[in-house]
Structure 1
Amino acid sequence: MTATVTHPRHVLTHLPAVIGIAYSASWIAGLCVGAPAPVFADSGSEIIRELSGHTTAFSAQFLLTEGLPAIGLAVVSLALARAAHSPLIARLAAVSGIAAAVISFTQFLLGMALAGTGSPDSAHLLFELVSRFDGVKMFLLAGLGVAAVRSGLLPRWLNWIAIAMAVTIVASGIGYLFLIQPLATLAYVSGPLLLVFITGTGVALSRKDR
């Protein structure tokens, strides 16, 4: 019998692509859960009423859109930093990506707390924190997009996706940070672009390492 040994470098080479694909799959699964979606104007009592009977779905959605994707953000951003030729670009990718991952996981924890609270005041505060953190995270993701474009490691079509993502996600980030509902709806544009950007970057980096 001949034993097959997988070299650690071979595994690491494909990791960004696998994680990048898993990032989008997790997000899409989370959006398909069908959990309630409170808006900024909702009071604490209204938020609790909307979540009543749907806390399991709400928790699952936060796990799939904030908890697990935090891993994807960390892996892809570190892979980009590792591959970048410029120390400045590498630092921008690492700092913005890891910070966004930390915020994403923090949002997951806040979402779990929101699903379990019965206090209107706590519900309102937790929902506001999750929303404002989303705004900060979006600015950081725009920074990651800039780092990816400046790295010169992405194919041309993906550079355009990264640029469009960065522009739209800054606009939606302003909406979330300052709780401006019309601007926040731009997430319907920046969100899909982000999925394509993270997955495409993971795949592109894996190909560069071959």
Structure 2
Amino acid sequence: MSTTVAHFRRDVLASVPAAVGIAYSVSWIAGLSVGAPAPVFADSGEEIVRELSGHAGVVAAQFLLTEGLPAIGLAVVSVALARAARSPLTARFAAVSGGGAALISFAQFLLGLALARTGSADVAHALFESVNRLDGVKMFLLAGLGVAAARSRVLPRWLDVAAIAMAVAIVASGIGYLLLIQGLATLAYVSGPLLLVVITGTGVVLGRKGR
């Protein structure tokens, strides 16, 4: 009986990265579908407040679905990748880059909640700028996670290629967010889908390997 229970627990724990990896993409897609206002970098504080006015609930929901819950997904998949990586250096790199990205994502969630509730133009502008610049830093860390995934030697070749492509694309969009350059930031339309593929694919692959 004890052996059966041990096997059951092992299977449940092994399935966690897969479930969380899938939930990561589901949460992001849901967050982008809620229809929250989308101010641009050049907007003034007054314009940001005006655009978000009356939409506090939707804005908060979007930050929860695109930053709060995904922070958990990044942490879980990063830890799973670090444990599976065949090189200690790659394992540390995955843990640090993924863990750092998860912490920033959660910080963005908290800042987003404050942004959704504020009526001050100066505060709104500062919060909006902070969220976007943090996004740039997070993207650099996610690029590091992509490199770690490709060098872990535990993923299929197609996922290694996707991870490298994501790393390259997300560095470019990260520069746009960090420096508030709208043109470069639009590259997130390329790096974003690749990120979902990499995080979800990595979670699913590691979940199957752990069984």
Tell me the TM-score normalised to structure 2 length: 0.96
1:79 alignment counterpart: 80
Confirm whether residue 145 of structure 1 aligns to residue 146 of structure 2: yes
Q: Any runs of at least 4 consecutive aligned residues in structure 1 with deviations exceeding 3 A, and if so which?
A: 3-6
CA drift of 1:4 comes to 7.6
Quick one: which amino acid aligns to residue 162 of structure 2?
A: I
Alignment of 1:50-65 (within 5 A): 50-65=51-66
Q: Using the alignment, how far apart are the partners of 2:95 and 2:164 within structure 1?
A: 18
2:172 alignment counterpart: 171
CA drift of 1:7 comes to 2.6
Give unpaired runs (5+ residues) of structure 2: none
Quick one: which amino acid aligns to residue 140 of structure 1?
A: L
Quick one: which amino acid aligns to residue 60 of structure 1?
A: A
Quick one: which amino acid aligns to residue 178 of structure 1?
A: L
Q: Using the alignment, how far apart are the partners of 2:55 and 2:158 within structure 1?
A: 40
Alignment of 1:44-123 (within 5 A): 44-123=45-124
Q: CA RMSD in A?
A: 1.2
CA contact (8 A) 2:24 2:69 kept: yes
Quick one: which amino acid aligns to residue 36 of structure 2?
A: A
Q: Using the alignment, how far apart are the partners of 1:207 and 1:151 within structure 2?
A: 16
Confirm whether residue 33 of structure 1 aligns to residue 34 of structure 2: yes
Q: Using the alignment, how far apart are the partners of 2:100 and 2:145 within structure 1?
A: 10
What is the SS of the residue equivalent to 1:7?
A: helix
1:134 alignment counterpart: 135
CA contact (8 A) 2:41 2:129 kept: yes
1:160 alignment counterpart: 161
CA drift of 1:16 comes to 0.4
2:201 alignment counterpart: 200
Identity across matched positions, percent? 76
Quick one: which amino acid aligns to residue 77 of structure 1?
A: S
Q: Using the alignment, how far apart are the partners of 1:142 and 1:58 within structure 2?
A: 27
Quick one: which amino acid aligns to residue 198 of structure 2?
A: F
Quick one: which amino acid aligns to residue 157 of structure 2?
A: R
Q: Using the alignment, how far apart are the partners of 2:199 and 2:139 within structure 1?
A: 13
Give unpaired runs (5+ residues) of structure 1: none
CA drift of 1:6 comes to 6.5
1:11 alignment counterpart: 12
Q: Using the alignment, how far apart are the partners of 1:60 and 1:42 within structure 2?
A: 22
Per-residue CA deviation, residues 105-161 of structure 1 (Å, 9 max, x unaligned), is 000000000001111000000000000000000000000000000011111111111
Q: Using the alignment, how far apart are the partners of 2:71 and 2:5 within structure 1?
A: 32
Quick one: which amino acid aligns to residue 197 of structure 2?
A: V
Q: Using the alignment, how far apart are the partners of 1:84 and 1:114 within structure 2?
A: 38
Distance 1:5 1:89, change over 3 A: closer
